[in-house]
A = this chain, B = another copy of it.
């Protein structure tokens, strides 16, 4: 079976065109026989093709899209955030753990973090568990708080 879909539109146009031409023939016959003025005949043709053109253009042209960009202002405190490397080393926090911490601070779930880092959920759990030890906290919300105080994370991650 041939795939007809791509050709359907084209077929549509062809058929429409053919119908129009037939109509014109008929009009020609009728009008000329009845000895109407040529101008009327031509005007009708013009009008029909004008309409056909409009219709065709509407069918074929991609819809114009006008994009309006609305800027929404969000206030962020000025800070040149300097990561506190000393504290990092002191607490023996690894790069990977810091990554996990950062994503955590952005409100991501462990599963989301796992997907983002292309590792398993279990791995993320392990990292977070170690983080909690090293930061001496019990929950991720505390971890984020503490990390910000220790300048391991920027105050408000934008």
Contacts and interface: CB of A to CB of B under 8 A. Distances in A.
A70 B104 CA distance: 24
A77 interface: yes
Contact of A76 (B58, B65, B74): B74
Contact of A53 (B50, B108, B139, B145): B50
Nearest to A46: B49
What is the count of identical protomers in the complex? 2
Interface-central residue, A42, A50, A146, by most chain B CB under 10 Å: A50
Contacts of A73: 72-76, 158
A2 B76 CA distance: 49
A69 interface: yes
A12 interface: no
Interface string A30-43: 00000000000010
Contacts of A158: 73, 149
A109 interface: yes
Interface in A54-103: 54-58, 61-79
26 contacts: A46-B49, A49-B50, A50-B52, A53-B54, A53-B57, A61-B61, A63-B65, A64-B65, A64-B66, A65-B65, A67-B67, A68-B68, A71-B71, A74-B76, A74-B149, A76-B76, A78-B78, A104-B141, A105-B141, A105-B145, A109-B139, A141-B144, A144-B144, A148-B156, A149-B158, A155-B156
